[in-house]
A and B are shown apart, each in its own frame.
Chain A
């Protein structure tokens, strides 16, 4: 079989698998978030937490619960790292330095999983397993909870209530993430991933010398890293490491795992608002953008333009032989289209335009399909902006799913959209304005700018992948990128919950002849267009100085 055909089948089989899981998984999540029964174990959890699961929360209360939980998570994870040398299973590693511990704590709590550290030489097994991996679960569940709260805002009428955050959080973990992670971990174990608590094992290499074979609870962390669109690798080289991604087919499983929940959530949305076609429309926008991006990125990598790739004869620098170029390109597209940021190959060494495409994916706002939860709420905000733009064209008050998009709603949607670009562009400008920060760039010329632009895009969009040549573990980058991650996560969440609150209070307007149908291909095309145009207008100048300058001669 030719490599090109194999690559097409790799992507095609993923599309088929995602289409098959879209319905059952989306329906399951609908039942999870809409059901009124509590499992026995959940009741125990609510008692321990000290909350009454029946209590409904209006948006400010829901938002404060999200923020309180996240703040406590950051503090605990920070303390955990700072104290790791006094805890068991630390493998003798020292306490994590303050600025790095802050960066990593924010990174994992915000579902970014930017890694300024090298896993095997910084984090002991206990911090990985009971600190970082816990956030892989809970930050994903927080994202889903916020998305569900926004959908309730569309679905409910004349109420201030959006549900109960603690219930949404616990159910997301107990009924969705944990069972899937357990099954997925078994699949990855069958593929050869390691799962032990050993501190490593020295072997005598056959050509002389020794080699330290590392251990750790890798499989259990690997699967939730993908399912929760987290991306923080157990090892420095993430999913390129054979212990994290052993075979050509575990690679397929990992790409599938990082796409499966975000692509099923539009179904959940459609069910919750009582019109499945609305869910299909949102899923269609995601699919159009995602398939285009995967095809373009993979095509660019296979074409291997650029001086070094041409000298080599393939874009193989930073890629593993077992995955090959096409499947590495597909992984890179999937990980940046979602908010995952796991990598099986190193984006810094991609072709100029292929690497640029990974940046464009993140700049889309991570909505195609985006992170678990965050992808859905990001896409719904773009749908709100689209009906507003359409409303301007025909001169009537826009509405979406029967809810009027008035001044308050469009202000919140705009603030949501503006947050990431402001953080990305201001952060990049700040770094480029300082000789000390520029010194962190590994590569010369336009590619150096791309490294910095990538770092701020990845942090603000909560992706977590990197042009990893940048020396990012400095007090300045750790602090500033940490702030970008925090603002890039929690400002949009507050805007989304406020939007949900104001939508839930409305009573729906009946559809009339002038209502824009939001389940037709026309609307799918409009949302896609608005997304691309907004991104192009915002980021084209920055991209022109980085990847475009490097890739177009």
Chain B
């Protein structure tokens, strides 16, 4: 050993150090923690699995989708938030949408072709409209058209007096959400035409949102097990009706499954959707 050049000795020492430290921090430590976890926190350390009628039906910490085979919401279940994890709530493909706050212009699919790209704004508007329809309330929102896409104009030329205005997310033959903009008639958008040169003008409008924020946005994990108490309250009448329950019973169940802020100030109040739906099923027997 002593005869080796010093740089080789140094790297051999480094390798031995790494192996020793791997043994300690990469084997002894995690296995010790695993041992304690399995002995003391057995249920939660194995994923807080929820059972019903002797069957494992999910994890209390992981959200699920409550939709039918066609993707339509099941009316007797509270719905979870939109999810970007795989096809929705897939723990093997967790993801957020990563779409930005000014992602507001769609790429309309070319005539007769699939594809195109829906902007985050249009996704929000479409979810709001769908949730409104499902719950029997108004699904309108600021910056959304009545037909559930982003209310965004492309104004030409980009600077100066407008000569041409296009409602860029509304494919022809849709009726534009506004008849005119600064005296210029608003056109519907022709798929395939490039409107990039125009100035982008999102239009707030006068609509007020009834559908809560968490109902129209995808979570960070794609597995969010919770919805806000406001979204649960919005869904309660529909669920009660679908199950033939009175609203008071459902509202009481929501309250039982609402988690407040830890110590009164950490996080936001939240309703665990899976547990709530299981409790409803249990009620039916």
Question: Judging by beta carbons under 8 Å apart, are B94 and A349 in contact?
Answer: no
Question: Judging by beta carbons under 8 Å apart, are A182 and B47 in contact?
Answer: no
Question: Judging by beta carbons under 8 Å apart, are A50 and B98 in contact?
Answer: no
Question: Judging by beta carbons under 8 Å apart, are A307 and B104 in contact?
Answer: yes
Give the Cβ gap from A190 to chain B, nearest Cβ, in Å.
7
Question: Judging by beta carbons under 8 Å apart, are B14 and A242 in contact?
Answer: no
Give the Cβ gap from B1 to chain A, nearest Cβ, in Å.
7
Known contacts A217-B33, A311-B144; A201/B56 CB under 8 A: yes
Give the Cβ gap from B219 to chain A, nearest Cβ, in Å.
5
Looking at the complex, which one of A181, A193, A248, A444 makes contact with B103 (CB distance below 8 Å)? Answer: A444
Give the Cβ gap from B61 to chain A, nearest Cβ, in Å.
4
Question: Judging by beta carbons under 8 Å apart, are B124 and A10 in contact?
Answer: no
Looking at the complex, which one of B93, B99, B263, B278 makes contact with A118 (CB distance below 8 Å)? Answer: B93
Residues 181-218 of A contacting B (Cβ, < 8 Å): 181-182, 185-186, 189-190, 192-198, 200-201, 203-208, 211-215, 217
Determine whether A344 belongs to the interface, using a CB cutoff of 8 Å to chain B. Answer: yes
Determine whether A219 belongs to the interface, using a CB cutoff of 8 Å to chain B. Answer: yes
Question: Judging by beta carbons under 8 Å apart, are A215 and B13 in contact?
Answer: no
Q: How far, in angstroms, from A307 to B263 measured CA to CA in the complex?
A: 34
Give the Cβ gap from B179 to chain A, nearest Cβ, in Å.
22
Closest to B94 in A: A237
Known contacts A241-B223, A310-B142; A348/B99 CB under 8 A: yes
Residues 196-249 of B contacting A (Cβ, < 8 Å): 202, 204, 209, 212-214, 216-228
Question: Judging by beta carbons under 8 Å apart, are A318 and B102 in contact?
Answer: no
Looking at the complex, which one of A195, A206, A251 makes contact with B52 (CB distance below 8 Å)? Answer: A206
Determine whether A138 belongs to the interface, using a CB cutoff of 8 Å to chain B. Answer: yes
Known contacts A133-B30, A192-B48; A248/B262 CB under 8 A: yes
Determine whether B89 belongs to the interface, using a CB cutoff of 8 Å to chain A. Answer: yes
Question: Judging by beta carbons under 8 Å apart, are B58 and A203 in contact?
Answer: yes
Determine whether A487 belongs to the interface, using a CB cutoff of 8 Å to chain B. Answer: no
Residues of A close to B67: CB separation below 8 A: 207
- How many chain B residues touch A (CB < 8 A): the figure is 111
Looking at the complex, which one of A178, A241, A247 makes contact with B221 (CB distance below 8 Å)? Answer: A241
Determine whether B159 belongs to the interface, using a CB cutoff of 8 Å to chain A. Answer: no
Closest to A126 in B: B26
Determine whether A154 belongs to the interface, using a CB cutoff of 8 Å to chain B. Answer: no
Determine whether B163 belongs to the interface, using a CB cutoff of 8 Å to chain A. Answer: no
Known contacts A65-B10, A346-B96; A251/B30 CB under 8 A: no
Residues of B close to A518: CB separation below 8 A: none
Question: Judging by beta carbons under 8 Å apart, are A189 and B45 in contact?
Answer: yes
Determine whether B81 belongs to the interface, using a CB cutoff of 8 Å to chain A. Answer: yes
Question: Judging by beta carbons under 8 Å apart, are B226 and A320 in contact?
Answer: yes
Question: Judging by beta carbons under 8 Å apart, are A443 and B33 in contact?
Answer: no
Determine whether A417 belongs to the interface, using a CB cutoff of 8 Å to chain B. Answer: no
Residues of A close to B64: CB separation below 8 A: 205-207, 211
- The segment from B16-24, B108-116, B165-173, B181-189 found at the interface with A is B16-24
Question: Judging by beta carbons under 8 Å apart, are A178 and B24 in contact?
Answer: yes
Most buried by B among A195, A316, A321: A321
Residues 1-54 of B contacting A (Cβ, < 8 Å): 1, 7, 10-18, 20-22, 24-27, 29-30, 32-34, 36-38, 40-41, 44-49, 52
Determine whether B91 belongs to the interface, using a CB cutoff of 8 Å to chain A. Answer: yes
Interface size class of A (residues with CB under 8 A): 35 or more
Question: Judging by beta carbons under 8 Å apart, are B91 and A214 in contact?
Answer: yes
Known contacts A130-B27, A173-B21, A346-B96; A207/B10 CB under 8 A: no
Question: Judging by beta carbons under 8 Å apart, are B267 and A248 in contact?
Answer: yes
- The segment from A18-26, A68-76, A432-440 found at the interface with B is A68-76
Residues of A close to B46: CB separation below 8 A: 194, 196, 198, 201, 215
Question: Judging by beta carbons under 8 Å apart, are A348 and B98 in contact?
Answer: yes
Give the Cβ gap from A494 to chain B, nearest Cβ, in Å.
15
Question: Judging by beta carbons under 8 Å apart, are B102 and A550 in contact?
Answer: yes
Q: How far, in angstroms, from A252 to B265 measured CA to CA in the complex?
A: 10
Residues of A close to B30: CB separation below 8 A: 129-130, 133, 217, 220-221
Residues of A close to B14: CB separation below 8 A: 65, 68-69, 71-73
**Which residues of B pack against A, CB within 8 Å?**
1, 7, 10-18, 20-22, 24-27, 29-30, 32-34, 36-38, 40-41, 44-49, 52, 55-59, 61-62, 64-69, 74, 77, 81, 85, 89-105, 120-121, 124-125, 141-144, 150, 202, 204, 209, 212-214, 216-228, 259, 261-268, 270, 274, 277-278, 281
Q: List 25 A-B contacts (CB under 8 A).
A: A10-B266, A50-B12, A69-B14, A120-B92, A120-B94, A137-B21, A173-B25, A192-B44, A195-B33, A196-B37, A196-B38, A237-B95, A237-B220, A311-B141, A315-B101, A318-B217, A320-B224, A321-B224, A321-B226, A321-B268, A322-B224, A442-B98, A443-B100, A443-B102, A450-B100
